[in-house]
């Protein structure tokens, strides 16, 4: 039992990501026919049920707007436990603590499991945390029948686990096989009936990335759970923000890596470029310097763009010497930054290391460019 509990808590966190559990997800606990029948029956009554209960959670002390702001404050503060509890049925920590106590295989602590549950919104361990603020709540729509069913299934699944832990945590006779047997007897109705969800809204927000000042649209669900609001935050940052975070923070690195791949491809295609020469390619073509006549700039840029689409969103120049790229990027966001990759100073190449010794953090983009042009001339 203890191993399976731990496994379910970890696997469902990653695969279900708390929502999006489609029919294929819960086929594991009952046959297809049961699922189709249940969903059909639920869909015929969902609209009716929503109409009757749409304002139940409004009776709680906090409005749905208050809860959204509270959630984002907790997210910005890296309060993993609070954001987890705001997204889960009451009592989820008891199930996680039980998992930690009896997990003989993984030996993970509470923090590790909580972080695993919320990887979808916080990212991986090495990802830089992005603070956001709400500029505006744009719209609020009642959830569709399908969205409601998905969330009911997710909440019901965790409610069942919590109930199981409450009933069996002190029973020394339980083992894995008994837990598996209990799971095998479940069908979709068992989860849906335990969900304690009546209705909810899909809220569209205008968010501001506090580091860059850029704004994006994000979506967050507020769910009427036992007359109070719970949150589903899987898509709250919005796909546009999620896709742009890394490029905004690591332009030089991403351009450099993409250009190195482009050079490797061009070498394989034997285009006759003298890669041993030293030259500069720049986002502003007029600043390209000492470029070999056989170098196909458009092909190089297009190949780079295939691996880093955001290359056109900033100013940059790259020094190419012996087929190796070193990049300087001027990122015009708030705050404006100048990035280099890799570190010029520690490169073994004579030209690049000389440049690295002369560059300093307080220089402008144009000053760095001038130093590099001079180094190419003096090569």
d(CA 270, CA 9): 52
CA-closest candidate to residue 47, choices 140, 139, 149, 190: 149
pLDDT at 289: 95
- State the virtual CA torsion across 293, 295, 299, 300 in degrees, nearest 10: -140
Low-confidence winner among 5-9, 288-292, 295-299 (lowest mean pLDDT): 5-9
d(CA 152, CA 307): 40
Which is more confidently placed, 267 or 86? 86
Contacts of residue 37, defined as CB under 8 A and 6 or more positions apart, other chains included, come to none
Q: Are 280 and 287 in contact (CB under 8 A)?
A: yes
CB atoms within 10 A of CB 186: 16
Task: Tell me what the pLDDT averaged over the chain comes to.
Answer: 77
Q: Which residue has the tokens 């190449």?
A: 349
pLDDT at 195: 87
- Sign of the four-CA dihedral 363, 366, 371, 372: positive
Domains of the chain: which residue ranges?
2-240, 250-377
Low-confidence winner among 125-129, 178-182, 276-280 (lowest mean pLDDT): 125-129
Low-confidence winner among 74-83, 249-258, 317-326 (lowest mean pLDDT): 249-258
pLDDT at 247: 45
pTM of the model: 0.54
Phi-psi map region of 18: left, alpha, beta (phi>0 left; psi -120 to 50 alpha) = left
Which is more confidently placed, 123 or 374? 374
Give φ, ψ of 197 to 5 degrees.
Answer: -115, 135
């Amino acid at each position: 039992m203890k191993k399976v509990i731990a496994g379910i808590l970890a696997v469902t966190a990653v695969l279900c990501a708390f929502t999006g559990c489609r029919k294929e997800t819960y086929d594991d606990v009952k046959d297809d026919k049961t699922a189709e029948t249940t969903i059909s029956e639920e869909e015929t009554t969902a609209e009716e049920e929503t109409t009757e209960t749409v304002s139940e959670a409004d009776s709680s002390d906090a409005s749905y707007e208050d809860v959204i702001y509270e959630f984002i404050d907790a997210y910005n503060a890296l309060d993993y436990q609070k954001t987890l509890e705001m997204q889960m049925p009451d009592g989820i920590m008891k199930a996680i603590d039980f998992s930690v106590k009896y997990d003989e295989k993984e030996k993970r602590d509470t923090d590790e499991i909580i972080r695993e549950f919320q990887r979808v919104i916080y990212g991986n361990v090495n990802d830089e945390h992005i603070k956001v603020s709400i500029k505006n709540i744009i719209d609020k729509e009642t959830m569709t029948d399908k969205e409601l069913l998905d969330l009911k299934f997710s909440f019901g699944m965790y409610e069942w686990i919590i109930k199981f832990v409450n009933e069996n945590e002190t029973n020394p006779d339980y083992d894995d096989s008994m837990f598996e047997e209990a799971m095998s007897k479940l069908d979709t109705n068992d989860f849906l009936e335990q969900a304690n969800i009546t209705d909810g809204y899909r809220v569209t927000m205008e968010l501001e990335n506090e580091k860059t000042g850029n704004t994006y649209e994000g979506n967050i669900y507020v769910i009427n759970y036992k007359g109070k609001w719970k949150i589903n935050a899987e898509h709250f940052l919005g796909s546009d923000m999620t896709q742009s975070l890394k490029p905004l923070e690591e332009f030089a690195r991403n351009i450099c890596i993409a250009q190195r791949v482009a050079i490797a491809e061009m070498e394989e295609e034997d285009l006759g470029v003298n890669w041993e020469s030293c030259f500069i390619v720049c986002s502003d073509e007029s600043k390209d310097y000492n470029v070999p006549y056989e170098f196909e700039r458009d092909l190089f840029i297009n190949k780079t763009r295939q691996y880093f689409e955001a290359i056109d969103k900033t100013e940059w120049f790259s020094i190419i010497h012996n087929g190796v790229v070193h990049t300087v990027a001027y990122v015009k966001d708030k705050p404006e930054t100048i990035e280099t990759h890799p570190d010029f100073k520690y490169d073994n190449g004579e030209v690049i290391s000389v440049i690295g010794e002369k560059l300093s953090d307080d220089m402008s983009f144009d000053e760095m460019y001038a130093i590099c042009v001079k180094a190419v001339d003096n090569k």
